Structure 1
Amino acid sequence: MKFFSSQCHFDYNWEHVSASTWKKYPNEMSTHVVAVDVLRREINPTTGVLTTERLITCKQSIPSWLLALVGGRDVSYVREVSEVDPFKKTLTLRSVNLTMNHLLSVQETVTYQPDKINPEKTVFDQHARIEAYATFQRLCNKIEEWSVERFKQNAQLGRIGFEAVLKRLADTVPDKLFQGEKASL
């Protein structure tokens, strides 16, 4: 079992960042994400928390040795469940791979929340647990190491792509929409 974690700050307030996550894909840096479908969306009437379940379709180049080993395809599916709490100002996304999960489990949790020192910035925390299942531990280690490296590469590209989305939306959407104000359009 291997772990991956990263943290960064976005130079935009939480309202802007959390609203922009719905426009994150497609972007030019995350070309492996080919579709995002909303399966369910509901608001808890008691807490005000918005829960959304999405199916994310990815297509990546996978080493031929790995494809041959598992008889897989280069298309995979990920289930993501997000919770937006507008009162606590947190956005939490939890995702798990659905494809080949009997051979490799990838569980990721991402949170966005205002920076405690500068609330005009948003803190991004990302944690992933990656575990391969095979008869030989050496093979598990190789699959996990490759998966962590791929995860790291995709996370870096995803951050760059999301920065572009944040900037594009900042340039085109009125600021008052990201300030928690009700705006009439």
Structure 2
Amino acid sequence: MKVFTSTQFYNYSWDYVSAANWCKYPNELSTHVVGVDVLRREFDATKGTLTTERLITCKQPIPRWLTFLVGGQDKSFVREVSVIDRNQKTLTMRSCNLTMCRLLKVYETVLYRPDPVSPVSRTRFEQVAEITAFASLRQLCEKLEDWSVERFGQNASKGKLGFDSVLKNLEEQWIGISDKTQNLLEEVNEKTSEVITEVNQKTGALAKAFGWKN
């Protein structure tokens, strides 16, 4: 068995990152993820947790030496179960491959949580993947596991860059919406002030005409 680990940081709050996670795919850098389907979603009001089960479809070339075992198949499926805990401020994602599972088993755990150093403005990402190959030849097992670890490293780098771009784009969109909302509120307040002033002026004129006193 081989283990791949990765720790990264995002310069955004946990609330922002955990919300943006649902918009992570597709993105222009993580092109190996071609489909995400939600199979189940459950909210536990007592615990304050949201559990989601998804089917992730990936498409990525495989080396020639592996094609004799799996054929020309370049599409794979992964089952993922995630839990958002609002009270603990954690997003835990556990996944396992469904394709080639008799040949290679990959258990991956991802954890998003506030960075202990800067909990308000930064999110810590921790990734652990346990990779085990099943083959009659030990050398083949080691080659499969080494290839999987290398692929995890490549995808992790692309995934970080891809999610960074998604976070930045969403931030720009949300800032734009916030600016438009602020401008609209300012216009409404301005119009409201004009109406109140006009009503006061007319009321004052009527009171003067009829000799009313405040």
Gaps of 5+ in 2: 179-214
* SS of residue in 1 equivalent to 2:46: coil
Tell me how many residue pairs correspond in the alignment: 176
- Corresponding position of 2:201: none
> 1:134-149, aligned counterparts within 5 Å?
134-149=135-150
For residues 60-85 of structure 1, what are the alpha-carbon distances to aligned partners after superposition, in whole Å with 9 as ceiling and x for unaligned?
Answer: 00012102123361110000100000
Name the CA distance, whole Å, in 1 between partners of 2:68 and 2:27: 30
Please give the root-mean-square deviation of Cα atoms over the aligned residues, in Å.
1.4
Name the CA distance, whole Å, in 1 between partners of 2:144 and 2:72: 14
* SS of residue in 1 equivalent to 2:99: coil
Name the CA distance, whole Å, in 1 between partners of 2:155 and 2:117: 29
Name the CA distance, whole Å, in 1 between partners of 2:111 and 2:174: 23
> 1:29-44, aligned counterparts within 5 Å?
29-44=29-44
State whether structure 2 residue 61 is matched by structure 1 residue 61. Answer: yes
Letter in 1 for 2:79: R
* SS of residue in 1 equivalent to 2:31: coil
Name the CA distance, whole Å, in 1 between partners of 2:154 and 2:12: 23
Name the CA distance, whole Å, in 2 between partners of 1:116 and 1:145: 33
Structure showing greater radius of gyration is: 2
Name the CA distance, whole Å, in 2 between partners of 1:85 and 1:62: 36
- Corresponding position of 1:48: 48
* SS of residue in 2 equivalent to 1:173: helix
Higher relative contact order (CA 8 A, sep 6+): 1
Gaps of 5+ in 1: 178-185
- Corresponding position of 2:84: 84
- Corresponding position of 1:128: 129
Name the CA distance, whole Å, in 2 between partners of 1:72 and 1:136: 22
For normalisation by structure 2, the TM-score amounts to 0.80
For residues 45-101 of structure 1, what are the alpha-carbon distances to aligned partners after superposition, in whole Å with 9 as ceiling and x for unaligned?
Answer: 320100000000001000121021233611100001000001110000001000010
Name the CA distance, whole Å, in 1 between partners of 2:70 and 2:77: 16
State whether structure 2 residue 118 is matched by structure 1 residue 118. Answer: yes
- Corresponding position of 2:199: none
Q: Runs in 1 of length 4+ with deviation above 4 angstroms?
A: none
Tell me which protein shows more strand as a share of its residues. Answer: 1
Letter in 2 for 1:112: Y
State whether structure 2 residue 164 is matched by structure 1 residue 158. Answer: no
Letter in 1 for 2:137: F
Distance 1:84 1:3, change over 3 A: same
